[in-house]
Structure 1
């Protein structure tokens, strides 16, 4: 597909694979310890922690230093929605934890050596599925959180929706083909009132594969979407380059999608791939609201 579109060379599909060199939990976005600078975690609190809490803080730091930031999010309580982690000498990343929908991921905030900073705006704060904004007229798939860098045209969003039986007729997710999962998600992403076939022609899947993380399948895919020319990008042959990850829980698909303009992909794409590789569903807490709960509730 990519060749037919005459686009710049895309990154190797293996760069999305969680088992690539350098691991965060099982996700693969932090290089080995010998190549990593000392990790730092900055946490704000309203008062000095008691002595009995210092052990927990030391354990958090120990896990980060050992490259287990993802596990840290799972096994230890997090008092803040975000933690700041300097993962390596190339990029500083933040961790977002959504307790309402029980997932986490890392996203890039700064490239120290290049003196470059992303200008993120949280356009949609995490919210329950029933009140989230729909991605398509049928409201099956909805955005439960989103952050945008409008200056650099970068978007990271998380959406939730039920599987489309047209693409995934089996209820056994271990049998799902990665390309079918990608087509299932992309068929519901268009906000245009067009047929499924028309929506599919807007997107070109470059790669799709899956892997198991802690016994659960995660599906990874990379695709292009044709966009209309803008003042900042007047070329008629304009595409958004996307990478995404999808996981299933309780009969719903949870998908993280990161995208940038195709001409910017070479500079920001590797860091968005780290974001996608870090996506994890977390064990639900008391704040978790399953998508099927109170579908009539809009607040």
Structure 2
């Protein structure tokens, strides 16, 4: 893949796709031979990267492996066979983790399973470079980090975790004429189900624009007669407080179930008592308590498969199969 020019300033200046300059010469990919060597977990990971674009080593380990070392060993093997591609962002201090994307062999494999070619899949040789230089990289990683923690919660608490996780493109494909959330997910804790849209706020948008999005969610509720919650996650507690002051009246007038939190609270346990319903005097509580408190919640419409769906447009399970075959 040819290297992309790095801009002199702006978000793209901080990232470099190492694979863009170290890619081995393109070789013929024997899909049949490769498929025989891949486990169900490998195929799941390829689908996850097609769905969510980029995951770090630690995010993948959190979701699918019992140790960082075993994850790194397998990821290196998948990278060697071009099932995966990768890059490392440049950082001011220290080193960033490896960031994995879908590689050419992975794209060819998924396309073959779906009866498509890689162009129809949306994959291009510049795929990794474009993700590495994307201004939305930090935002996308933040969304994936938050939701991968929720999904992996099942490893320690089998009755809790994500049962559904749709990316921004998947949500847009279903509801883009009304709303464009950063993700849609179902969090279950015991008997309590919290279907929610996620708005992941990095502080780059004025509060007036965030407020304007609420009318879209109200329109979605009216048009579909379904009522998912809306979770808004911000970078800092001060941004969270400013947003709550700006949105509380609008949310009440529109009849929306909204809760907010920030990275100052959620860290590695976003299911905990860090979410405050958007109403005066509300205390922070858990996602399970929100589901129990908001009795009128219901999953979004448009989740059932249709004739227009392919194996690649159906939701990917948030966690991989539990018993992969022996790995090479």
TM band (smaller chain): under 0.3
Q: Which protein has the bigger strand share?
A: 1
Q: Which protein has the bigger helix share?
A: 2
Q: Compute the TM-score of the two structures, normalised by the length of structure 1.
A: 0.25
Q: Compute the TM-score of the two structures, normalised by the length of structure 2.
A: 0.23
Structure (1 or 2) with the larger CA radius of gyration = 2
